Amino acid sequence: MSAISSPPRTIRIGSRSSQLALVQTHWVQAQLQKAYPDRTFEVHTMATQGDKILDVALAKIGDKGLFTKELEVGMLQQEIDFAVHSLKDLPTNLPDSLVLGVVTERENPADAVIFHEKYHDFQIDALPPGAVVGTSSLRRLAQLRHHFPHLTFKDIRGNLITRLAKLDSGEFDAIILAVAGLQRLGMRSRIGQILTPEISLHAVGQGALGIECRGDDLEVLALLKVIEHAPTRDRTLAERAFLRELEGGCQVPIGVNSVIEGENLTLTGIVASVDGQKVVNGRVTGLVAEPEKVGIELAQLLRQQGAKEILDTIFEAVQRG
């Protein structure tokens, strides 16, 4: 009598409960289901601290796992098997026993300007003095203040849909969002302007999804390889090494841009004071095969130019509240 084989293990996917997070997670689920039709992939949602606290600026809450901690606890307690994150939200130092399993192909990582209808034909440099621009990101704030000191910047919280509603109600004249999130939600038409790297270097990991899982779960790690995108992985490993080496978190004014050409990877980075007055930037090219080395080298270069002093001042200000 032949032995009856047990069915394949059901894989439980963790996700934040926001609309954008679920679109991203369901995309991952669909890709895995297509690759492994005999498997079952279930989505489990959780609300993170960053989803619950909506009346305080992100920089004042702190960024240690703001949008990831609850999902990480779920993995450590075996409630879920892996979590889908916007890679820009995933801290560069992960809890013991958890790893960045794979990185998916990146959408456009740039920042976008969405204008109130009364400015629908404008570009950001043509907005009148005092026009109110909403952003929750110190990185965007610092760079835009540097280039457009005539504008007024105001913190904006909530998910993407909530922010667009605040814009449309007239609370803001323009808001800054990631191109990738708008594209994933089918809202490409809302974009009034895509900011070039010369104006706004994007966040580390922006536009890519990072899949976090238990490091000893070899079955899940093997399954995930089917959605890995090597060029995006290498670019974002360089970016994350740069951020980690500067000891910066998600909510600091650090921006990047990365390009792969042949065997070379070029990483551009910026560190700016929140008022936009002090800016240090630089660029390093190295081998694609050694992405983290490129990131570390760029961090060391900017540190020599005064990046640490800028970041220390910001941290002190945030701690003072």
- 8 A C-beta contact, residue 127 and residue 247: no
Choosing from 38, 55, 81, 89, the catalytic residue is 89
Report how far residue 56's alpha carbon sits from residue 54's, in angstroms, rounded to the nearest whole number: 6
- 8 A C-beta contact, residue 174 and residue 112: no
Report how far residue 11's alpha carbon sits from residue 311's, in angstroms, rounded to the nearest whole number: 41
From 1, 33, 23, select the one nearest 11 (Cα to Cα): 33
- 8 A C-beta contact, residue 143 and residue 272: yes
Nearest-10 crossing angle of helices 230-245, 291-304: 30
Report how far residue 92's alpha carbon sits from residue 64's, in angstroms, rounded to the nearest whole number: 10
Give the distance from CA 145 to its chain's centroid: 21
Report how far residue 318's alpha carbon sits from residue 321's, in angstroms, rounded to the nearest whole number: 5
For residue 89, indicate whether it is catalytic: yes
Report how far residue 220's alpha carbon sits from residue 223's, in angstroms, rounded to the nearest whole number: 5
* CA separation, residue 297 to residues 3, 146, 283, 284 (Å): 57, 25, 9, 7
- 8 A C-beta contact, residue 19 and residue 158: no
Report how far residue 140's alpha carbon sits from residue 137's, in angstroms, rounded to the nearest whole number: 5
- 8 A C-beta contact, residue 108 and residue 179: yes
Residues 6+ apart with CB under 8 A from 7: none
Among all residues, which ones are annotated catalytic? Answer: 89
